[in-house]
Chain A
Amino acid sequence: MIVPIIIRTLTLGGVYALLASGMSLIFGVAHIVNLAHTAFFMVGAYGMWFLMRQQGWGPIESILVTVVGVTLLGLLVYRVFLNRVRQHPQAILLITIAFALVFQELLVLAFGSHFRTAPALIQGSRLILGVRVTNQDLLALGVVAVVMIVMWLVLKKTKLGIAIRATANDAEIANLMGISVPRTLLITMGIGTALAGVAAVLMAPLWVFYPYIWMSPLTMILAIVVLGGLGSIKGSVIGAFIIALVETLVVFLLPQHGYMTTAFALLAMIIVLSVRPGGLFGTIFEEERL
């Protein structure tokens, strides 16, 4: 009982961490709550399915095209639409949800609302402590770990990472220090959607996709990001595993109430928010506190 719970928490938490840290990064730097984040993820998964199943492409070129395509789509949406209303947080929330709906409707029109799954990147499964785990799950977990470490190194060590963190800290001062803020924001948006694209590549063979799939992970990701503190990547990684644990426990302990996972995840979020209004690792600036 304990081992399957741990393994499921790790695999689920890995995907959630990938999605949530992308969303959190975009919020922390550009102050954009991107509600279309899981819609980008869904578009990526459909890309994998379309290229591999319909077009018969190999895995490597499908992965490349999907990740690059999703990133470009994110950059386009940011440059043409989001950039315009960046100063109005409510308009951002609305416009991103509208984009999620646009993607959903376009996918319905293009492929219908059938269930789709991409073929596995690597076949087979193995026993770990008496529990059968597919190799695809292990691959996903490994890639998530590598991506998170690379992202941490980029943010901590490179010049670009310093520029991103400076912009997140204070865009005005960063601008005065010679950092091109609009370009940094654009790059951040690119990294965020690229993370969603990577998550899509990993999850396309594991999850069943349909054009409305963006909604339920979105509520989970929102719970994670808010629980961890908007803008804190460390918070969203820890939050991802907390929420994944909550979800797994509900599935394992209350199997007849499996649909209650969202309710319990949101309950966890509400409890954390009532104790710490800025989430676990979020910051609320002194002047904003009432």
Chain B
Amino acid sequence: MLKRRLNDFRWGVLPVPGRLMAVIFFVFLFVFPLISDARYPLLIVTLACIYAIFAVSWDLLSGYTGQVNFGHALFFGVGAYGSALLYKYLGLPPWATIPLGALIAALAGVVTCLPALRLRGPYLSLLTLAFPLLLSQVARAFPEVTGGYIGIRGLPALAASPIGRYYVCLIVMIVSVLIMWKLTDAGSKNVRTGLIFHAIREDEITARATGINTIRYKILAFAIGGFFGGIAGGLFGHLLRTVGLGVFAISLSFQAIIWVVFGGIVSIYGPVIGVFVLYPLVELMQGTAIGEYRNLIMAVIVILILCFMPEGIAVRIRDKIERQCPRCKLSNAAWRRECRACSASLRHVADG
């Protein structure tokens, strides 16, 4: 068993630079507290883990299925408020409130997609933009329940120490991203959702004509996106131990889109890299002389990336360092002359 895993690593991971970098990246995340256990950097990386779940869930819903959601903060907010209210009224511990809050967020996803199912393109995006605004004003209108403008305070912490909290978020992040990656894997033999999501984005009418119940799969995509968005929201609430109206902010919805577009849309790994590069970078800028320009810099980065590198930075780099064998479709390092499995010549394979 162990030998097989080692063989997998030796022949499946080491020769492909992208996979090797992913492994190094996760090993780095696991040993990060050894490198620096100061409170602030640890909090930044913990938040980055939470935002990574959030960004990937947006990518699953909007990138893969093409249902571009401009109000993804709705799920984050419902997850956060859901788990906070479950604690407030039922006194449940975090390990119960976060999944239950996420289920409520998934339900919110199903409810919002019912009017959204009839709409397409910009109409859908603008409608979804409305929901978090609507809910934040409703939350503000019932201060006895939601705490109004101040929000709900004094939630139980995820774990006793900052390092414990970090590992909880990291492991939840890895598990969630793995699940979403499997769900969207178009080449999978066991799970059909990945292929169907792609089909819905590329051509919904053809997908329907092929006998796929696209409505059901769109609802499913909203539910899955809502569930993981809700997990991120619940973790966020319990990490900061307070939930306020900020979880519904438009800026949060757009932040998710910015991270995904920066890293690479429709790729799952792109959003993770986008979050782990951009978020700490922006936080680092906060204390320095260029701190007051950080929103400006972010906006300019988005404009430049959209105009000149629309596939995203992570996807661009991966295309540069990996090349697919034309015969057996295995990924190879770009500097190899022959495929590592079938020794077909790679010299004439075009970039990307």
Contacts and interface: CB of A to CB of B under 8 A. Distances in A.
Given A90-B125, A105-B296, A95 B115 contact: no
Interface stretch (B1-9, B222-230, B303-311): B303-311
Interface stretch (B85-93, B133-141, B325-333, B338-346): B133-141
B147 to A, nearest CB: 16
Interface in B212-265: 214, 250, 254, 257-258, 261
Contacts of B205: 290
B282 to A, nearest CB: 13
A226 B307 contact: no
Interface of A is mostly: helix
A179 B125 CA distance: 32
A84 B137 CA distance: 37
Given A101-B295, A102-B296, A226-B126, A94 B302 contact: yes
A95 B129 CA distance: 16
A106 B123 contact: no
Contacts of A270: 115, 127, 130
B121 to A, nearest CB: 6
B303 A93 contact: no
A262 to B, nearest CB: 6
A115 interface: no
Interface string B192-219: 0000000000001100100000100000
A48 to B, nearest CB: 23
A98 B121 contact: no
Contact of A94 (B129, B134, B140, B257): B257
B122 interface: yes
Interface stretch (A156-164, A215-223, A236-244): A215-223
Contact of A93 (B115, B122, B133, B208): B122
B296 A263 contact: no
A219 to B, nearest CB: 6
A277 B140 CA distance: 29
B68 interface: yes
Interface of B is mostly: helix
B134 A266 contact: yes
B137 A222 contact: no
- Chain A interface size, as a band, is 35 or more
A198 B298 CA distance: 30
B300 A102 contact: yes
A152 interface: no
Nearest to B118: A277
B122 A99 contact: no
Given A266-B134, A270-B130, A257 B303 contact: no
A81 B307 contact: yes
Contacts of B120: 288, 290
B283 interface: no
B254 A109 contact: no
A33 B137 contact: no
Contacts of B123: 226, 230, 273, 277-279
16 contacts: A90-B125, A91-B306, A93-B68, A93-B70, A95-B306, A101-B295, A215-B250, A226-B127, A262-B133, A266-B130, A269-B127, A270-B130, A273-B123, A274-B115, A274-B118, A290-B205
Given A98-B299, A274-B118, 11 more contacts: A33-B122, A94-B258, A99-B303, A105-B295, A105-B299, A219-B130, A222-B130, A226-B123, A266-B130, A277-B118, A290-B204
